[in-house]
Amino acid sequence: MTLHTSTYKGKRILIILKDGTKLIGKFKDKKSGYVITEEHGKISTSTIKAMTICKQAIKRKDTP
């Protein structure tokens, strides 16, 4: 199964990494094996466990 890593630009997304770290940021682009966010820059898709659109406010203490 492949990971769905694309959405509309500017959408707020939640990325959960394989080590359990949660990142929240605005989606900017997806390029050849990387998801690019405004806050965190390039994130390799090989380190991503899950990615979803944030539909509710998530407490900021969940982010590192």
pLDDT (0 to 100) of residue 6: 82
Domain span holding position 25:
12-56
Residue 64 lies in a domain: no
Residue 1 lies in a domain: no
Residue 4 lies in a domain: no
Considering its fold, how many domains does the chain have in total? 1
pLDDT (0 to 100) of residue 35: 94
Residue 7 lies in a domain: no
The CATH number given to whatever domain includes residue 26 is 2.30.30.100
Residue 2 lies in a domain: no
CA distances to 15, 36, 43 from 48, rounded to whole Å, are 7, 12, 8
pLDDT (0 to 100) of residue 64: 52
How would you write the pLDDT of the chain (64 residues) with one tens digit per residue?
A: 567 778 889 999 999 999 999 999 999 999 888 999 999 999 999 999 999 998 765 555 555 5
Give this prediction's pTM: 0.78
